[in-house]
Amino acid sequence: MSDRSATDDGEADHEHGHSHHLEGPGYATPQAAIEDGSREKLAYVMSLYVGTDVDAPDFVAVVDLDPDSDTYSEIVDRVELPNRGDELHHFGWNACSSSCHVDELERRHLIVPGQRSSRIHVIDAKDRRNPELIKVIEPEDVFEYDLSAPHTVHCIPDGQILISMLGDADGELPGGFLELNEDFEIEGRWDQPGDIEMNYDYWYQPRRNVMVSSEWAAPETYYPGFDLDDVEAGKYGRKLHFWDWEAGTVEQTIDLGEEGLIPLEVRFLHTPESTHGFVGAALSSNVFHFWRDAGANGGAGEYRAEKVIDFESREHPDWDMPVPALPTDILLSMDDRYLFGSNWLHGEVWMYDVSDPSNPRRADSLSVGGTFGEIREVQGRELAAGPQMLQLSLDGERLYWTTSLFSSWDEEFYPEEGERGSVMLKADVDPRAGTLELDEDFLVDWGDCPAGPARAHEIRWPDGDCTSDVWQ
């Protein structure tokens, strides 16, 4: 699968198959990304109309983040997709820092799946302000591999692209992984059908020859909306799967139990040698730390997981049951010092110091929007939903977020989101003091889109960010 060499005995291979004379895309190390990366001037943001009565396709918004620009905090371009009904959700680059040794590769193409349609789009972003659609893989071509519902997109070393797929061709289980080649053609199925049942997010750490994947549910379960009956019927996930990255086989599965229900975003530390990482269990409102334990007497060891952050439910005076926090997104700062997250239902953005990953220390939080947030409006714009997808500047000083989770779930918990559209907000982060402060001068409003209010989801920077870069 690649030209790297990796050991399976828990020891990092510091040669890892290539020299670090940087020729290809990305940065030589996470620290180089912090030092050499410039301030984010643009953002690409998934924007959608699926599930509404607005007769328009979803689009990729290009947002101006340059404070010196006349169009600062405005949507300056929209890449409209050819079909309605996609539900653009998560997306990724064709190449990242894991391909730093492949000198012909560029971080140039965005792979943009439709979560609901199973359609996969390829966008050429060579012109960063005016990206254009160049290719579409139709759902029928995806269904041929008995897969549907594309989710997480990562480049993998040498130019291929791997996409987690949450269902089979009928929207049932099992999910799996679809591999594209460097010409953006379907290469095939990466896993063996049935290796896992449920799928969601994944992250890989090539120097440790490991990939970790998490679980949501079958598309037929989560697509229509959240139903507690499905939880009681065991239809939602609670497991982490640790894969042999080169072999593409599951080596270990950890059942997180009742406190690990719906483990969504999963992040290894950026440090390429690290086996530590975190996963947010949305429904249980917990964050788990996972790591590979050194084996006794020099053995291979195994992965372990332990709950390290627990958010309490809150009583709402007019509601029947205590409301869970629902931490739907987490991310690690590029220096691996801070873990950030969003409690979508409560309306909270938080940061924990994870210098010691087994003992996170709450640094600060911001109460904004959602069901309980103290800050209810920005620039006169009432906030209709809670903080959701996050993105952090490479230097860790600016945290941005959007407010849409998934169209059908938005309708259930924040019906005003569809009527008003999403917003993108920003907090200034002081990594030295460990503080967050809402920047009330910054607001991007998807309520003003020409075709009508739109939802906004995942955010990416043109030249790498804290949730897409991996180092080989």
Partner 1 sequence: MARTTHSSSHDVRLEWPDGRTRTIDVREDQTVLEAATCADIALPFGCRIGACATCTGRLLEVDEPDAPDGDDDRGAVDVEDAFEYRQQPRALKDRHRDDGYVLLCLASPRVDCRIAVGSSVHTELVDNPWK
Question: What residues pair up with 109 in beta bridges, in sequence order?
Answer: 124
Of residues 10, 17, 85, 431, which one binds partner 1 by CB under 8 A? 85
Nearer to partner 1, 223 or 291 (CB): 223
Of residues 29, 47, 94, 118, which one binds partner 1 by CB under 8 A? 118
Is residue 51 part of the contact set for partner 1 (CB under 8 A)?
yes
Of residues 24, 26, 157, 167, which one binds partner 1 by CB under 8 A? 167
DSSP label of 323? B
3-state secondary structure of 298: helix
Q: Per CB under 8 A, which region of 269-277, 289-297, 346-354, 407-415 contacts partner 1? A: 407-415
Is residue 139 part of the contact set for partner 1 (CB under 8 A)?
yes
Number of residues that bind partner 1 (CB under 8 A): 43
**Contact 123/134 with Cβ under 8 angstroms?**
yes
Is residue 172 part of the contact set for partner 1 (CB under 8 A)?
yes
User: Residue 286: in which H helix or E strand, if any?
Assistant: strand 286-293
Give me the least distance between CB of 409 and partner 1, in Å please.
9
Give me the least distance between CB of 413 and partner 1, in Å please.
6
Of residues 117, 152, 284, 285, which one binds partner 1 by CB under 8 A? 117
Give me the least distance between CB of 115 and partner 1, in Å please.
9
**Beta strand residue intervals within 384-460, DSSP E:** 390-392, 398-402, 423-430, 435-438, 444-445, 455-460
**Which position has the token pair 């492949």?**
102
**Contact 338/352 with Cβ under 8 angstroms?**
yes
Q: Per CB under 8 A, which region of 49-57, 127-135, 192-200, 362-370 contacts partner 1? A: 49-57
CA dihedral defined by 229, 225, 402, 306, rounded to 10 degrees? 30
Q: Which two tokens stand for residue 103?
A: 């000198």
Give the Cα separation of 416 and 405 in Å (integer).
Answer: 13
Give me the least distance between CB of 298 and partner 1, in Å please.
48
Nearer to partner 1, 17 or 225 (CB): 225
DSSP label of 356? S
3-state secondary structure of 318: coil
Nearer to partner 1, 169 or 443 (CB): 169
Give the Cα separation of 462 and 94 in Å (integer).
Answer: 12
Question: Which spans of this chain sit near partner 1 (rule: CB under 8 A)?
Answer: 50-53, 55, 84-85, 87, 116-118, 139, 143, 148, 167, 169-172, 219-220, 223-229, 316, 318-324, 407-408, 411-413, 415, 418
